[in-house]
Structure 1
Amino acid sequence: MGSFMKVLFFVGAFGLGSFVFYNAGISNPSVRHRECGDRPERVGKFRKPRMIGGEDVSVDVWPWQVAVLYQPNSSVPFSQVCGGAIIDDYWIMTAASCADVQNQRKLLIRAGSSRLDVDDEFTQSLQVARIIKHELFNPVTLRYSIALFEMETPFVFNEFVYPICVPDNMAADHKLSCHITGYNAQPGGDIGVLQEANVFIMSRSLCNKPAYWNYTVSADMLCVGEYGGGVDGCETNLGGPLNCFVEIEHRYYLIGIRVKATSCGEPNRPNIYLKVYSLYYWIEREMNISFH
């Protein structure tokens, strides 16, 4: 049965509160995906200067978060180039810019880790069998910046590796609580540590003002962050998820994927995310499965 969402953004006095509603829909997942996004709501006030503005967190809180690793040649180790999210046992979603590789064998998808320098019994590292990039992707405007990576072998779902729900575009009304997540280097080092930050979704009209992104934010994009800057994930979080808890469904949905990785943490430069629900039917068609 379809549930519902309609967009409105309100910030309370002195910016102390916010409610986000927007034009997206949520349908109950199919039997195959009925447990997707099944985690308690995170009510975060994380403002430590790391993510930028994030805090370390265990991977069992965000078990769909993955790191996209790349190895240009055999003489260097794999290193993180993007983030992504598990949406099915064989599939992850990321930004189209993360799919610009000549050989998918040079990619490795890592899941189940709170730190990228630690392999434990829960870490899963999978090879990529196939890459599907949206045929209308524009690297200049960043329209249609979405890619699907199919794994050679399936993820083994457990407490630390788990899919997030994919929203459809039916109309509905829901209050959303949203976090950005990703692996970020610690001060003075380059070790990726999983972090989270609570964020707000800004109105597109505000985000497109000349002092902000100057009319470059298209209708299929979302602006995410804080008015004064300071909450961001920067380069290696390109393709990372915008995780939003839908209270009526008691689960998390992949509302957006990050498509821009410049001007990190600067005032009036909120993160830009693709609206995943705007391409719901493309996702279903390319994966040849149904999320309903």
Structure 2
Amino acid sequence: MTLADMITVRVCTPVSTGMIKTAHPVACLMVYKAWVGRFWSVRVLSDCRYAEIPLVERPRHLVLAEPEPRYLENVVERVVGGEVARPHSWPWQISLQYLSGGSYYHTCGGSLIRRRWVMTAAHCVDTSRTWRVVLGDHDIYTHEGTEQYMSVSNVYIHPSWNSNNVAGGYDIALLRLSADASLNSYVQLANLPPSGQVLPNNNPCYITGWGRTQTGGNLSAQLKQASLPVVDHSTCSSSSWWGSTVKTTMVCAGGGSLSGCQGDSGGPLNCQVNGKYYVHGVTSFVSGQGCNVQRKPTVFTRVSAYISWLESVCISKAQKYSIKHSIINSWIKRI
């Protein structure tokens, strides 16, 4: 089931504030902002379990007229120009899965940045669900013996994240795992860039994930990758590209007829710097016109803009749990 099959727009009525009202509990959202997506839109536009990378801009097939539900048709093909990755060549890539009806389903990607911490997109986890993370995976439909299954004990979303406006930025979150990951040849920690680092135009990068291979198709069984060179901010934010939608805390990559757009929300943008790969981006959103559109590159949360926040959460929460366990251990000794 695709995003086109799952997103329903109900009784949309333009109002004088320039916003659009829906029949769902969250009454309105800005025009051209956060129209469809994964979990960030569940309370706004749909009841979908998962879709693909969120779209911004007004979809061309959206109808704002009839009182009956209307469906978005032929919105986007999700995988363009990707290829199957060599198994375990991106060992920090994780599969984020949610529990439904006794089974777990893949919904987003992410990156293992510490033994007990995973970085993903805020829009992937801003609903209350039972989550688990699968490490060391390549084929999500086959048990290969390399996987580590970890429950998620806590979710920490950036405090400035606004689920009604994915293009507003701050689309980043941390997941605390229930136990430390065991590092081996299949599971490794991602390298994060120095705080504030901005990559030059055309810096080589790869997006990775289990995205769909075509509209109406299934998720890719095997991890895929696609080359997406960086588009510098001055170009990406120009009026003929993304304009003011793209903030300085974001990274643009791709946007040409030969570039790919395959991947999952929350997954990494892996960029090569001095012969080494760093996770410079968290997959955030694409254009409503599709994900392989001239001058509309895929947009990522720029990781280097959030290094201080990432470190503060990891350190403060680690100290909290350390103190808690110390207190518990002292109680046990007294008993």
Q: Which amino acid aligns with 1:89?
A: R
How large is the RMSD of aligned CA atoms in angstroms?
2.4
**Aligned pair count?**
233
Partner of 2:333: none
Give me the whole-angstrom Cα distance separating, in 1, the residues matched to 2:254 and 2:190: 21
Partner of 2:112: 86
Partner of 2:144: 120
Following superposition, the deviation at residue 171 of structure 1 comes to 6.0
Write 1 or 2 for the structure with the bigger share of strand: 1
CA spacing shift, 1:226–1:266, aligned 2, 3 Å: closer
CA spacing shift, 1:226–1:191, aligned 2, 3 Å: closer
Q: Is the 8 A contact 1:224 1:272 kept in 2?
A: yes
The superposition leaves residues 158-190 of structure 1 with CA deviations (integer Å, 9 ceiling, x where unpaired) of 111111111222669889431111113346533
Partner of 1:33: none
Partner of 2:279: 254
Following superposition, the deviation at residue 65 of structure 1 comes to 0.6
The superposition leaves residues 52-75 of structure 1 with CA deviations (integer Å, 9 ceiling, x where unpaired) of 21110133210011111112x325
Following superposition, the deviation at residue 207 of structure 1 comes to 1.6
SS of structure 2 residue aligned to 1:192: coil
SS of structure 2 residue aligned to 1:215: helix
Q: Is the 8 A contact 1:206 1:212 kept in 2?
A: yes
The superposition leaves residues 10-60 of structure 1 with CA deviations (integer Å, 9 ceiling, x where unpaired) of xxxxxxxxxxxxxxxxxxxxxxxxxxxxxxxxxxxxxxx984211101332
Q: Which structure's CA Rg is the greater one?
A: 2
Q: Is the 8 A contact 2:225 2:262 kept in 1?
A: no
Q: Is the 8 A contact 2:203 2:230 kept in 1?
A: no
Give me the whole-angstrom Cα distance separating, in 1, the residues matched to 2:152 and 2:258: 35
Partner of 2:312: 285
The superposition leaves residues 77-114 of structure 1 with CA deviations (integer Å, 9 ceiling, x where unpaired) of 322211101111101100110111214xx111112121
Q: Which amino acid aligns with 1:181?
A: T
CA spacing shift, 1:233–1:253, aligned 2, 3 Å: same
Following superposition, the deviation at residue 261 of structure 1 comes to 4.6
Listed as ranges, the matches of 1:192-211 within 5 Å are: 192-211=221-240
Following superposition, the deviation at residue 149 of structure 1 comes to 0.3
SS of structure 2 residue aligned to 1:193: coil
Partner of 2:131: 107
Give me the whole-angstrom Cα distance separating, in 1, the residues matched to 2:218 and 2:123: 25
Q: Is the 8 A contact 1:186 1:192 kept in 2?
A: no
Q: Which amino acid aligns with 2:238?
A: K
Q: Which amino acid aligns with 2:301?
A: L
1:74 aligns with 2:98: no
Unmatched runs of 5 consecutive residues or more in structure 2: 1-76, 317-335
- Please point out which of 152, 162, 173 is paired with 1:147: 173
SS of structure 2 residue aligned to 1:196: strand
Partner of 2:16: none
CA spacing shift, 1:100–1:195, aligned 2, 3 Å: same
CA spacing shift, 1:115–1:281, aligned 2, 3 Å: same
Following superposition, the deviation at residue 127 of structure 1 comes to 0.5
1:239 aligns with 2:263: no
Listed as ranges, the matches of 1:131-280 within 5 Å are: 131-139=155-163, 140=165, 141-169=167-195, 176-186=203-213, 188-228=217-257, 230-233=259-262, 237-247=264-274, 250-262=275-287, 263-280=290-307
Larger displacement relative to structure 2 (192-201 or 170-179): 170-179
The superposition leaves residues 106-128 of structure 1 with CA deviations (integer Å, 9 ceiling, x where unpaired) of 11111212110011220112100
CA spacing shift, 1:259–1:190, aligned 2, 3 Å: closer
Q: Is the 8 A contact 1:230 1:266 kept in 2?
A: no
Unmatched runs of 5 consecutive residues or more in structure 1: 1-48
Q: Which amino acid aligns with 2:276?
A: R
Q: Which amino acid aligns with 1:62?
A: W
Partner of 2:319: none
Give me the whole-angstrom Cα distance separating, in 2, the residues matched to 1:190 and 1:274: 23
**Which structure would you say has the larger RCO, counting Cα contacts within 8 Å and 6 or more residues apart?**
1
Q: Is the 8 A contact 1:117 1:191 kept in 2?
A: no
Following superposition, the deviation at residue 191 of structure 1 comes to 4.3
Partner of 1:42: none
Write 1 or 2 for the structure with the bigger share of helix: 2
SS of structure 1 residue aligned to 2:97: strand
